[in-house]
Structure 1
Amino acid sequence: METTWAHELRGAGLRVTRPRLSVLTVLADHPHADADTIVTGARELHPSLSPQAVYGVLKAFVAAGIARRIEPAGAPALFELRVGDNHHHLVCRSCGVVADVDCVVGRAPCLEPADTAGFAVDEAEVVFWGLCADCQVARRAPGYGTSSAIEEGVIA
């Protein structure tokens, strides 16, 4: 996989470095990861890596189009490697899990505003909110909503 990542980095005009390879590996294994998760994972692969270095790598990846930063309301920024296809996201209101969903309709930007106010719109970001399958099952579980269910970890 490292040669694929090296090709990806060089294609984006970035040098191939151990910190960048570490962050790419974590992002590949953990789509929609927050920065703290990426720092922790990258440091497992490269123990001397500083959090600031990881933040710098993430910023460079987003600027180069290798990674995408998404910011669901009320949640930390998340990063993913799926870029360039203008896909959207489903977010669980209960546990926060995020899933990709393909473009709503047609080609980018998928949605057209009634008035562009002079903007040249090239992307639409849509976030669908609801309950994931696991949280729906948990809500149907006996005792949901009681203090004992909360204490037992049935409710996130």
Structure 2
Amino acid sequence: MEIVKTNKGGSKICFNGHMYVIKHLGKNKITWRCMKASSLKCTGTMYTELQHDNPVEKNPHNHLPDKEEIKVTKCIQKMKDQVTSSSMINPVEIFTENVSQIETATKARMPTEDTLKRMLRRQRSKNCPINSTMIEGNYKIIMSIFLVNTITV
């Protein structure tokens, strides 16, 4: 059982070839539902303790386990973690390094190269925004140019 972050910052559990997201957080246990609940109308559910221990599958899934999708999700999460941890490395380098290490079957399931690079650039800009003093300095320069142009006209 492995835990991966969702796009919104939540938790996703990979267990027996299926991925689950939190459905309900109770006092003693967490109820998880299958990631394919909306797309495939899957009723697969699982319970864990609050510490994500002792998983128990309750309802069966209506689809087969997909280990390749889990590998894709882990690879994308690894790339996102790398791009946020070091802002000096180019997202293209991170993409190239990680894609070269995965299997051919997993590569076939990955999003397109352009999509992944855009995702990594957005992730980096979300976690490492432009310096506000830099923006203020640019604003002052633009305003001074604007004032000079309006006075000379």
Fold match (TM-score > 0.5): no
Give the helix-richer structure, 1 or 2.
2
TM-score tier by shorter-chain length is 0.3 to 0.5
RCO greater where, 1 or 2, for CA within 8 Å and sep 6 or more? 1
Which of the pair has more CA radius of gyration? 2
